[in-house]
């Protein structure tokens, strides 16, 4: 079955960097686009970024553009999110998710919590 396991979350000071990873299994990773979606404590879902199946195309939310970079290593079935210049408002659970196509997301990881605080 499809599994998405995030890692790399934690507490980080404002302005610092953090890299999230997502290990994918149970499907042909290199055939699908992948998203990062986040959820601040007690708030709704916020889309962060999308990467195409081969990594050639990337899209970002305006709130993270220029600070976050999504990437993937299809040889390792792993998705990444490099987060630089972190702000307090980046505090959230970050979900690694699989794109179904047609704008839908069919699988979600369990999430990893990122807390930006001094």
Partner 1 sequence: QSVLTQPPSVSAAPGQRVTISCSGSSSNIGNNYGNSYVSWYQQLPGTAPKLLIYDNNKRPSGIPDRFSGSKSGTSATLGITGLQTGDEAVYYCGTWDSSLSAEVFGTGTKVTVL
* Binding footprint of partner 1 on the chain (CB under 8 A): 35, 37, 44-47, 50, 59-62, 95, 100, 102-111
Q: Tokens 């408002």 map to which residue?
A: 89
Least distance from C-beta 38 to partner 1, angstroms?
Answer: 11
Nearer to partner 1, 17 or 57 (CB): 57
Least distance from C-beta 16 to partner 1, angstroms?
Answer: 26
Nearer to partner 1, 78 or 112 (CB): 112
Nearer to partner 1, 17 or 89 (CB): 89
Distance, CA of 112 to CA of 58 (rounded, Å): 22
What are the structure tokens assigned to 98, written together? 């699989």
What are the structure tokens assigned to 60, written together? 């970002």
Least distance from C-beta 46 to partner 1, angstroms?
Answer: 7
Least distance from C-beta 110 to partner 1, angstroms?
Answer: 6
């Amino acid at each position: 079955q499809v599994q998405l396991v995030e890692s790399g979350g934690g507490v980080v000071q404002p302005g610092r960097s953090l890299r999230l990873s997502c290990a994918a299994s149970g499907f042909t990773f290199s055939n699908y686009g992948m998203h990062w979606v986040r959820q601040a404590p007690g708030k709704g879902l916020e889309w962060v970024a999308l990467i195409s199946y081969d990594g050639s195309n990337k899209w970002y939310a305006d709130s993270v553009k220029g600070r976050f970079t999504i990437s993937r290593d299809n040889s390792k079935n792993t998705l990444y999110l490099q987060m630089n210049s972190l702000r307090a408002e980046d505090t959230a659970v970050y979900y690694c998710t699989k794109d179904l196509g047609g704008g839908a997301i069919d699988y979600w990881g369990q999430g990893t919590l990122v807390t930006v605080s001094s």
